[in-house]
Amino acid sequence: KQELKNTVFRLWSLLQVDPAGSGRVAATDAALFLKRSGLADLVLGKIWDLADAERKGFLNKQQFFVALRLVACAQNGLEVALKSLSVAVPSPKFHDTSSPLLPPGVVPIDSPWAVKPEEKLKYDAIFDSLSPVNGMLSGEKVKPVLLNSKLPVDVLGRVREKAISF
Confidence band for 5, pLDDT divided at 50, 70 and 90: low
> Is 78 in a helix, a strand, or coil?
coil
pLDDT digits (tens, 9 = 90+) for 108-145: 444 455 566 677 677 777 877 888 887 777 878 888 88
Range 2-84 has CATH code 1.10.150.120: no
Position 97 scores a pLDDT of 40
DSSP three-state, residue 52: coil
Nearest to 71 by CA among 41, 27, 37, 36: 37
Entry pTM? 0.53
Distances (CA, A) of 80 to 83, 85, 102, 123, 154: 8, 9, 23, 35, 38
Distance CA 27, CA 21 (A): 16
C-alpha dist (Å) from residue 69 to 6, 8, 65, 66, 104: 10, 14, 6, 5, 23
Does the pLDDT of residue 103 top 70, yes or no? no
Phi and psi, residue 60, nearest 5°:
-85, 180
Ordered by start, the domain boundaries in the chain are 2-84, 117-148
